[in-house]
């Protein structure tokens, strides 16, 4: 019974933290679509370019001028002229996404491990094993969730043709 109370307290704490992280993620805003934002890009930043002809290209910034941008992709490095660009999105990974993935993964690991222990015969009698399994499941789930959150990229509009 003591272990069950500890597990419930941990679940409540993790849910409280994940609620605060989700609220912070909802408060993020996209920048406006001006060419001056494009000129602030640094070489190596990941972007998505869509031309007025409908072609889409993903790559990293090589060079930005007053009238064009050079983007390096896997097989080619095209130069996009400003008048031929429909929009440019900056692909970002922010700490909120990684943290939210970690918290949700940790909650999933905690709940999954706890459910397995509660359902296994003699689960209440192995307190040190149960605690180690719960901590391991939580940490493993948090690590996996953070890794998946790190791979997910948000596209922020930085330029759109008028």
Q: Which of 39, 53, 152 is nearest to 102 (CA)?
A: 152
Instruction: Please say if the pLDDT value at position 131 is more than 80.
Output: no
Q: What percent of the chain has pLDDT over 90?
A: 10
Taking 80 as the threshold, does the pLDDT of residue 3 lie above it? no
Residue 150 lies in a domain: yes
Residues 99 and 21 in one domain: yes
| Average pLDDT estimate for 57-77 | 88
Lookup result for tokens 């003591």: 2
Q: Establish if 7 belongs to a structural domain.
A: yes
Domain that holds residue 75: 35-85
**Residues sharing a CB contact under 8 Å with residue 146, sequence separation 6 or more, in sequence order:** 98, 99, 101, 102, 105
Whether the predicted model's global pTM rises above the 0.75 cut: no
SS (H, E, C) the chain: CHHHHHHHHHHHHHHHHHHHHHHHHHCCCCCCCCHHHHHCCCCCCEEEEEECCCCEEEEEEEEECCCEEEEECCCCCCEEEHHHEEEEEEEECCHHHHHHHHHHHHHHHHHHHHHHHHHCCCHHHCHHHHHHHHHHHHHHHHHHHHHHHHHCCEEEEEEECC
Tens-digit pLDDT profile for residues 15-33? 554 444 444 333 334 445 5
Q: Specify if 115 maps to a domain.
A: yes
CA 67 to CA 53: how far, in whole Å? 18
In angstroms, the CA 113 to CA 106 distance is 10
Q: Does any domain span residue 160?
A: no
Asked whether residue 106 is assigned to any structural domain, the reply reads: yes
How many structural domains are present in the chain? 2
Q: 159 lies in a domain?
A: no
Region 67-75: mean pLDDT is: 88
The answer on 13 and 41 residing in a single domain is no
Most confident of 26-35, 77-86, 99-108, 143-152: 77-86
- CA-nearest of 158, 161, 160 to 38 is 158
Q: Are residues 18 and 67 in the same domain?
A: no
Examine the domain organization and report whether 49 and 99 are in the same domain.
no
Sheet of strand 46-51, all strands in order from the earlier edge strand to the far edge: 79-81, 68-72, 56-64, 46-51, 85-92, 154-160
Q: How far is CA 10 from the centre of its chain?
A: 24
Q: Residue 46 maps to which CATH number?
A: 2.30.30
């Amino acid at each position: 019974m003591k272990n069950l109370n500890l597990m419930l307290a941990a679940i409540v704490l993790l849910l409280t933290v994940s609620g605060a992280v989700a609220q912070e993620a909802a408060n993020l805003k996209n920048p406006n679509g001006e060419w001056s934002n494009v000129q602030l890009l640094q070489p190596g930043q990941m972007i998505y370019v869509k031309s007025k002809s409908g072609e889409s290209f993903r790559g990293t910034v090589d060079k930005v001028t007053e009238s064009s941008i050079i983007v390096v992709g896997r097989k080619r490095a095209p130069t996009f002229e400003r008048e031929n660009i429909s929009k440019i999105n900056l692909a970002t990974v922010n700490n909120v996404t990684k943290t939210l993935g970690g918290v949700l993964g940790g909650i999933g690991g905690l709940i999954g491990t706890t459910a397995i222990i509660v359902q296994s015969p003699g689960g209440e009698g192995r307190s040190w094993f149960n605690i180690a399994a719960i901590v391991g499941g939580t940490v493993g789930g948090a690590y996996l969730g953070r890794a998946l959150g790190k791979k997910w990229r948000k596209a922020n509009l930085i330029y759109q043709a008028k």
